[in-house]
Structure 1
Amino acid sequence: MPPAVDSTVPPRGRRTNETITRLRRRIMAGEWPVGSRIPTEPQLVEDLGVGRNTVREAVRALAHAGVLECRQGSGTYVLSTDELAPVVARRLTDDRMTEVIEVRRAFEVEAARLAARRRTAEDLAALDAALAAREAAWHGGAVAEFVEADVALHTAVVAAAHNGMLAELYASVATALHSTVAQAMGDTLTPDRHVDHGRLVAAIRAGDPDLAAREAGAFLESAPKA
């Protein structure tokens, strides 16, 4: 008679998938920020309560997805909180910038529309702060700082839409978003490249979805602009 199978112990494949999910959730929650080193394999074995091979397979899968990077003699580091981000980054080339702008438009127009309907007092405060930081960065004249501030404002609009899936998808194109803004700005901040986002924030505050959508799409209509 064959030995009895303990049904409380999941098959190896399922254990690995569950371990991948648990690691991914902790990375997305910020327990191990991007750039930081995750615990060693023995530490993960003890922490997760699974075998060494299961941990090894889970880490290898996340490394293949571009979330983790195994560095010989140093450890395993977090590359991204999102498996889509490395994929998008690898596909990002100068000759695809038009596609990136179109994707931005699809996300940002709908995000503005939803934000106008769903924004809270906290969202409006965050938008005001992001808009002020963007203007301050513009007047400061540093391109890199302005790019970061501009992206932060667009991200705040998406957050105000209160759609978790939209926010995750938007985060996955963060590298592409930075690239389009940087490309639009060039090496210096000149008056002809400035785009007023005050009207966009005002439309969201007024609760006007159609106006907010128009404002969000206007600066992405043709040429790359921030």
Structure 2
Amino acid sequence: MTDSAPLIKRSLVDQALEQLRLRIAQGVWAVGERLPTEPELSAELGISRNTVREAMRVLAFSGLIEIRQGDGSYLRSMTDPLGAMRALSHCTLAQAQETRQILEVEAIGLAAQRRTEQDLQGLHQALRTSAALYHGDLEAYIHADLVFHTRLVDAAHNPALSELYQYFSAIIGAQLRQTLSVSPRRQAVFDLHSALLEAVEQQDPERAKSLCRQLIHEP
């Protein structure tokens, strides 16, 4: 995969969502209006009913539509709170690193100032788990690593940052699959995690931010 290729491939559901969101943005349906049925949308979009159903569930989760059991789907809003996240599925490795630096580095700087003893206990536990998996199965390690980084961001005690990071974690996982595909994995890369946690524990935001930047840009 080249650096110019998207990190996450677009699924049929993603493509259906794009078409449905476009229709909503264009005002095809008014707020409160009943949307076409699944068979009608399936025929219009040229995709299966199952794909339409999954896309509608995503729209309902994001608050754009309301699915009323036995009655159909109704448009609730023309403003998609998840719309800003759609570009993430087209991120390249370089773009993911830029976005991660803007979001995660600053969040970890705040975490170093605001972390609690409870935060530190959870972080040490997450780091021990990921340490045991670092040289093993890649997917198991990525899951454990994302738990550690999510807890770091959560230690900033800013719900908006935590929510954004949850959306962005899929892109980070895709980035890790590229950067950690080497074998054997370099221990020095993992050791940066320990140093990062130490900086947070010592409430040293500048060192924590510096180590976070270094970790993000490790090959």
Q: Identify the TM-score tier after normalising by the shorter chain.
A: 0.5 to 0.7
Who is 2:145 aligned against? Answer: 150
Q: Is the 8 A contact 2:130 2:144 kept in 1?
A: yes
Q: Is the 8 A contact 1:143 1:187 kept in 2?
A: no
The one-character-per-residue Cα deviations of 1:92-145 (angstroms, maximum 9, x if unpaired) are 3xxx21011111111121111100111011110111011101101114x11111
Q: Which amino acid aligns with 2:126?
A: A
CA distance in 2, matches of 1:84, 1:145: 30
What is the Cα-based RMSD across aligned positions, in Å?
A: 3.2
CA distance in 1, matches of 2:141, 2:107: 22
Who is 1:211 aligned against? Answer: 207
Who is 1:36 aligned against? Answer: none
**Residues 105-116 of structure 1 mapped to structure 2, 5 A cutoff:** 105-116=101-112
**Against the structure 1 CA distance between its residues 126 and 189, is the aligned structure 2 distance closer, same or farther, given a 3 Å change threshold?**
farther
Q: Is the 8 A contact 2:67 2:74 kept in 1?
A: no
Structure 1 regions of 5+ residues with no counterpart? 1-11, 17-22, 27-38, 44-51, 66-81
Q: Which amino acid aligns with 2:168?
A: V
Structure 2 SS opposite 1:162:
coil
**Against the structure 1 CA distance between its residues 187 and 211, is the aligned structure 2 distance closer, same or farther, given a 3 Å change threshold?**
closer
1:159 aligns with 2:154: yes
- How many aligned positions are there? 162
Q: What TM-score, normalized by structure 1, do the two folds share? A: 0.61
**Residues 182-197 of structure 1 mapped to structure 2, 5 A cutoff:** 182-186=177-181, 188-191=183-186, 194-196=189-191, 197=193
**Against the structure 1 CA distance between its residues 191 and 218, is the aligned structure 2 distance closer, same or farther, given a 3 Å change threshold?**
closer
Moved over 6 A (4+): none
**Residues 1-226 of structure 1 mapped to structure 2, 5 A cutoff:** 13=31, 24=61, 41-42=68-69, 52=71, 55-58=73-76, 83-84=82-83, 87-92=86-91, 96-139=92-135, 141-186=136-181, 188-191=183-186, 194-196=189-191, 197-221=193-217, 223-224=218-219
Find the structure with the greater CA-based Rg. 1
How big is the shift at 1:42? 2.5
Structure 1 SS opposite 2:110:
helix
CA distance in 2, matches of 1:85, 1:177: 17
CA distance in 1, matches of 2:82, 2:143: 22
Taking only the aligned residue pairs, the percentage that are identical comes to: 27
CA distance in 2, matches of 1:40, 1:102: 37
Structure 2 SS opposite 1:56:
strand
CA distance in 2, matches of 1:14, 1:118: 44
Q: Is the 8 A contact 1:109 1:217 kept in 2?
A: yes
How big is the shift at 1:192? 5.9
